[in-house]
Amino acid sequence: MEASFLYWWLQTERVRRPWSEASAGTNINNLKVSTLISTSVPIPPLAEQERIVAAIEEHLSHLDAAERALRSAVARLELLESGAVDEAFFSFVERVPIREIAEVRGGIQKQPKRRPNENKAPFLRVANVGHGRLALDEVHEVELFEGELDRYRLRPGDLLVVEGNGSPDQIGRSAVWRGEIPDCVHQNHLIRVRPGPSLDPEFLGLYWNASSTRQQLTSVASSTSGLYTLSTSKVKQVEVPVASLPEQRSTVARLATKLEQFSTLRAEIGTAAKRHRALRRSILAAAFSGRLVPQDADDEPASVLLDTIRTERAAATPAKGTRKAKTS
């Protein structure tokens, strides 16, 4: 049997899906040997196997080139988007430390005594804060004590900044809180930046996630241990642009339009990527259903190939020896 033919057959949905279902486990999925050896394999004539492999590899080489082009498009799009955000803030020459126009405060440390019981509240963690977005599908709860809700309650417009991360490109990632959950508080690994009356929250959110700002955050957060960590004192040092509220809101509006365009392009690339994966599955399905290459009546029948395989297997199996009779 052609080894490449077997390889491509094992990549088909017809094989992979039953394997995935059979290998489901509690913690780690494992494919059992019994499942593997019971998997049926089509055996067309050897010449047809070779034609199928050649056709598969030719089609998939074109798809591989398309996939590389999609990855390149995503990379270029990210660069263009990053450049557009940075450019929006270049014209603001004057900068001031964030502590002068916003309140910076830490959050609640999770401890055994904080197990939610009588006075529980929604509790945001680092996992809930992405790069310019919030993930609120899984929000934990925490026990609060007297006066803590007033002290730690989030307000619409607060910027939540991640305190630390081992990766420099993730340091200080943040998202604007817009009041999605009432009476919500946050953990101590999230730093709350509450803009004052002269600072538009959306303007701050866009600026904070700009690549040029990330360089500033990385600089103040760097440590000799390799872990990049922010603190309230470090965050207070970060400089932000000085502009009138109308200028800030105009900047946000212009950026929102551009970012929407980038989002549309990203969605189109995502659609193309899904189509690419579907085509790949379709090519493999066609290959093993006799629709990708023509069959040839002059090919040596598969039955002859099977007989050859059986003969070779029998010849490779050592014969069982006979035991000698014991002598008394």
| Helix or strand run (H / E) with residue 124 | strand 120-124
| 187 and 299, same domain (yes or no) | no
Indicate whether 118 belongs to any domain. yes
Give residues with Cβ within 8 angstroms of 237, minimum separation 6: 97, 98, 99, 220
Q: Which residue is associated with the tokens 């932000």?
A: 240
| 102 and 118, same domain (yes or no) | yes
Indicate whether 317 belongs to any domain. no
| 23 and 142, same domain (yes or no) | no
| 31 and 83, same domain (yes or no) | yes
DSSP 39: -
Indicate whether 37 belongs to any domain. yes
Q: Which residue is associated with the tokens 């399905």?
A: 285
Give which of 249, 234, 144, 148 is closest to 191, Cα–Cα.
234
| 88 and 112, same domain (yes or no) | no
| 79 and 101, same domain (yes or no) | no
Ramachandran angles phi, psi of 194, nearest 5°: -105, 105
Indicate whether 45 belongs to any domain. yes
| 116 and 229, same domain (yes or no) | yes
| 1 and 74, same domain (yes or no) | yes
Domain final position from 218, 242, 266: 242
| 273 and 200, same domain (yes or no) | no
Beta bridge partners of 129: 134
- Tens-digit pLDDT profile for the chain (328 aa)? 788 999 998 999 988 888 887 776 656 677 788 888 888 888 888 889 999 999 999 999 999 999 999 999 999 999 999 999 999 999 899 999 999 999 999 999 989 999 998 999 999 999 999 989 999 999 999 999 999 999 999 999 999 999 876 666 677 899 999 999 999 999 999 999 999 999 999 999 999 999 889 888 888 886 656 677 889 999 999 999 999 999 999 999 999 999 999 999 999 999 999 999 999 999 999 999 889 998 888 888 877 777 777 787 788 777 665 555 555 4
| 156 and 269, same domain (yes or no) | no
> Which pLDDT does position 42 carry in this prediction?
87
| 103 and 232, same domain (yes or no) | yes
Total domains in the chain come to 2
Secondary-structure breakdown of the chain: helix, strand, coil percentages, each rounded to the nearest 5: 50, 15, 35
Which strands, in side-by-side order, build the sheet including 120-124? Answer: 140-143, 120-124, 185-186
Burial class of residue 44, CB neighbours in 10 A (0-12, 13-18, 19+): buried
Indicate whether 119 belongs to any domain. yes
> Which pLDDT does position 319 carry in this prediction?
61
Domain final position from 201, 218, 242: 242
Indicate whether 32 belongs to any domain. yes
In this structure, are residues 189 and 162 in contact, taking their beta carbons and an 8 Å threshold? Answer: yes
pTM for this model (two decimals): 0.77
Interatomic CA distance for residues 90 and 39, integer angstroms: 62
- Here the tokens at position 155 are 């307000």
In this structure, are residues 177 and 134 in contact, taking their beta carbons and an 8 Å threshold? Answer: yes
Q: Which domain holds residue 23?
A: 1-92+252-307
> Which pLDDT does position 36 carry in this prediction?
82
Indicate whether 71 belongs to any domain. yes
| 178 and 162, same domain (yes or no) | yes
Indicate whether 50 belongs to any domain. yes
Interatomic CA distance for residues 50 and 298, integer angstroms: 14
Interatomic CA distance for residues 199 and 267, integer angstroms: 32
Domain CATH number, residue 192: 3.90.220.20
| Helix or strand run (H / E) with residue 52 | helix 46-90
